[in-house]
Structure 1
């Protein structure tokens, strides 16, 4: 049995349990952020849950860079609702060398905490971080992805999921691989997106 989260994952304040018939009957996940912390995240106007603002930048830094894996639970309800689909969810993969350094696959963990099924159709063959490149370098970079061994994309519908979209290069490159492999459709969705 999973232990209930009783304190806000960001500020540590005690979470007030929301008790309603709808929540009980709908099997909705309990909140993991207090209303004050949650209010700092701005809803996105794109194919993302949130805009990449200062609150999201700080959250991603604490989650990915500092390794605060409990934060993966922060937006589980919103992700579960947004990714309720019959399409195959494909997380952007982490290069094995980066996974060894970081010790967890941040995109997979977001999906796991939201109870979303996914399949690794892609492998990352280049250990690069798009965030360390400028816009021109990102747009000109070679495709770092390949189709995973023993996977067939022919005729299938996909949603490629990542934690952040800045220039869109990573998502575009991932979609190219699936499209070239015969996918019927490929859409994208991210936790956060910068407004270009």
Structure 2
């Protein structure tokens, strides 16, 4: 099998015990060298509000600013750091459209999502119609593997507007809210606990817009999980 990222052959040593059993050891989707480029975030050294890796458990300066203007509960949990290896992965997966790369994390990420108990609905952030046309897939759904997604949110963004990935930080923070709850679900989500899923938490503007939209429609609690921060 070839590594999905560098395309080198993955060599797996099979212990004799595996040859004696009907089950077989699962071959990883990427090689050890590529895997070593991704760094996990541990909760012991992460901001409790956004999941950013840091030296303490204090709320980071970005989240302190958000709290000055927020009246609702919200927290994000991230699995990996957004470093150079992750940036390169996202570029190839999302913007070059290599859909096979969803398999790099489509086992580990769903397990991470499932570790957060007590939520009624798991909701992948939707993409706008223009992105569907150009990219052909929702990258978040690809990362979720076989997890059930509740498609309660819709995104409507003007075709000529820049995507978040094309904006600088201050432009991202000033972006308007393009989310709305599907009319069929508006009564069904009242007092529900919702776990939003996205690929990258950058400034938090997009996820917070989604959370605000859900709270406005009566949700009882909204948090999020992202692959990286």
Per the TM superposition, whether the score is higher than 0.5 is yes
CA distance in 1, matches of 2:183, 2:196: 18
- Alpha-carbon contact 2:14-2:25 (below 8 Å) kept: no
Are 2:143 and 1:143 aligned? no
- C-alpha separation in 2, matches of 1:26 and 1:168: 42
Alpha-carbon distance between aligned partners in 1 of 2:213 and 2:174, rounded to the nearest angstrom: 16
The 2-side partners of 1:51 and 1:26 are apart by 33
User: Structure 1 residues 25, 59: CA separation in 2 closer, same or farther (over 3 Å shift)?
Assistant: farther
* 1:13 and 2:8 correspond: yes
Is 2:197 the partner of 1:161? yes
Structure 1 residues without counterparts, runs of 5 or longer? 1-5
TM-score, normalised relative to structure 1: 0.85
Task: Show the counterpart of 1:126.
Answer: 157
1:13 offset after TM fit, Å? 2.2
Q: Is contact 1:93–1:124 with CA below 8 Å preserved after alignment?
A: yes
How does 1:183-194 map onto structure 2 within 5 Å? 183-193=219-229
Partner of 2:107: 77
**CA distance in 1: counterparts of 2:133 and 2:92, whole angstroms:** 18
Higher mean displacement: 68-77 or 122-131: 122-131
What residue in structure 2 maps to residue 31 of structure 1?
28
Q: Give the structure 1 partner of residue 139 of structure 2.
A: 106
| Cα drift, residue 140 of structure 1 | 2.0
Question: Is the contact between residue 107 and residue 162 of structure 1 (CA under 8 Å) also seen in structure 2?
Answer: yes
Larger radius of gyration: 2
- Where 1:182 maps in the other structure, the secondary structure is coil
Superposed CA offset, 1:33-81 (max 9, x none):
1111011011134111111111011000000111110000001222121
C-alpha separation between the residues in 2 aligned to 1:99 and 1:86?
31
Question: 1:172 corresponds to which residue?
Answer: 208
Unpaired runs of 5+ residues, structure 2, are 52-76
| Cα distance in 2 for residues equivalent to 1:134 and 1:37 | 29
How many residue pairs align between the two structures? Answer: 185
Runs of 4+ in 1 over 4 A off after TM superposition: 17-22, 24-30
